Every structure is written in C-alpha cells, then in structure tokens.
Amino acid sequence: MMVWGALAGCNQPASDLVQGYVEGEYVYVASPYGGALAALSVRRGVQVNAGDPLFALEQASEKAARDEAERKLSQARANLEDRRKGKRPSELASLRAQLQQAQAALQLSLREVARQEALTVVPGAAVEVEVDRARSVRDQNQQRVSQLEADLNTALLGSRTDQVAAAEAEVRAKEAALAKAEWDLAQKHQVAPKAGFVFDTLYREGEWVPAGRPVVVLLPPDHIKVRTFVSQMKLGTIKLGDSVQVMVDGVQGSIDGKVGYISPKAEYTPPVLYSQGSRDKLVFLVEVLFEQTAAVNLHPGQPVDVQFKGSQ
C-alpha cells in the first residue's frame, strides 16, 4: 500500500503521454554442430561489427572429413582424365611395333604368293599345295594387319562416351561432397551476423556445446523497440509511420522514432503498465522503431514515456 501511495503522489505526465517500456529482440548465435568450445572471442558488454569472430568449436572430425573429400575428388578427377586419354605411350608403342611386324610379314607373304604363282607355269617347278599354303599365309597376315590397325585406333580413342560421362558425374558428386565438408567445417566458426551489443555469453571455453545451442547472445541496435499500449479512443489517431517522441528518465530531451506496428487485436491492460488518467481496460499494442544511432541509448526493460506526434 505504501508503494501505491508513493506512486499516486508522483507528478502526473502530460495527458498526451502514454507509458511504455523498451524491448530487445535478441539474436542467438549457435552452431548446427556440437563440440567443445575451443575459443570464445568476445565477452558480454562489448560491441561487435558484422563479420567479427564470436566463437569456435573443436573441429578435428570436420577437418578430417574435409581432407578425405579433397582426396576423393582428386582421385575422381584423375580417373576422368584417364578415361579421356587413350592407352599409355608404352602401350601405343607396343601396338605400333606389332603392326609394323605384321605389315612386314604381309609383304613377305605377298612376294611368296607371287613367286609360287609364277612357278605354276613351269612344268614340275611347283605343286598346287605350295601355292595354296602361300596364299593362306598371305591372308592370315592381312587379317593380322587389319586387327592391329583397329586395336591401335581404339587405343588412341580412349574410353567410350558413356564411361567418360559416368566419370564426369562422379567428379561432380565428389565436388558436392567437398563443398558440404567445407560448409560443415565453416560452421564450427561463427561470426557476428550483424553489428550489435554482446548481451551475454552462455558457455565458457572447454565446455561441451550441444548442437544448435546458442553460445553468444547479440542485441543489434535495429532490434531495439519500444512497446506501449493505447486505448481504443486514442488508437484512431495513430497510423503506421507516425512520428513518435520517447522520453527516458535521466536523459535530456527526447528520442525520435516511428510507429512500426499496431496490433489489430485488443487485449487487457498488462499489470506492469498503469496510468492514473486511463479508464479503459482494453488496449492495443503499438511498437515504436528507431534509427540505429538513436536505439543505442535505449536498454531493454527500461520504462519510458511515449508521445505520438502524428504524420509529418
């Protein structure tokens, strides 16, 4: 009762002022993977810029997975190059030597056939079986030359088209696996997503951090707003974008803001707010937003007085 009496005795604000309070929407920075906290780069109460390091978790397994993915990608690329190439130089040289031998044998067999056929016109100089044998050897040598020429052409072509396509697909799969491994490794280092105030740090170095649990809590200036509640009668005079002046105890002058949200739903007056001049029990939530340079002077939980100035 003494508290209420003291409040009733306070100076009354101007009739166009409504009470409110500062609220912050915090950014909880976490890693999607668990691990021991290896390094905490910030402490609560400091300001950070976007991109500043916040913390790092141990990353031995992620580094090993990234290295393995790199090696598998190198292997897949080497296989693709091998598929695109023909035989090795030494194998091609062996095929060319065999072809030259077969061509030489074919030339000899051609001369032998010609000689045996010439002898057939000389009585008693040649028999039919010798001519047939020479012709058979010639035909075999011709087929051997054709076979080796085909083998050499095939060796120069490399693998079939579908085999090369399969090797290319394997390279793309290994590249995707490496990108995933590098992303996993990067998630063990977290940086500030935007500039702000380090509101709190929730773990100490050496502690185990479960996956998805926040380690650092940030409060960016553009996440600070004022919440107030206005009566139904006053609601009709307020529009989105209207200029607002906010007065804070102990601060000279006022802080300029704009109406950023008007709740479409009525609710009962929160017990934390009171107004001796208000008789309405149903009120509407109104949120006031600020420029970043102005928001740094406001602190979550701070009571304020709000004056709506209307459109300007």
304 close to 22: Cβ distance less than 8 angstroms: yes
Please give the average per-residue pLDDT across 9-35, as a whole number.
81
pLDDT at site 62: 94
Q: What confidence tens digit (pLDDT) does each residue in 290-304 have?
A: 888 888 788 898 999
Q: What confidence tens digit (pLDDT) does each residue in 112-135 have?
A: 778 777 777 666 655 677 777 777
Please list, in sequence order, all residues whose beta carbon lies within 8 angstroms of the beta carbon of residue 160, skipping any fewer than 6 positions away: none
**Residue 296: helix, strand or coil by DSSP?**
coil
Confidence of residue 251 (pLDDT cuts 50, 70, 90): confident
Backbone angles phi, psi at 279, to 5 degrees: -120, 0
- Integer Cα distance of 229 and 284 in angstroms: 5
What tokens were used for 169? Answer: 């697909």
259 close to 237: Cβ distance less than 8 angstroms: no
Place of tokens 């079986």: 129
Confidence of residue 59 (pLDDT cuts 50, 70, 90): very high
CB atoms within 10 A of CB 111: 12
Confidence of residue 34 (pLDDT cuts 50, 70, 90): very high
CA neighbor of 14 nearest in space, from 243, 284, 270, 247: 247
What tokens were used for 157? Answer: 């072509």
Q: By percentage, how much of the chain surpasses pLDDT 70?
A: 83
First to last CA, the chain: 43
What tokens were used for 219? Answer: 């409060």
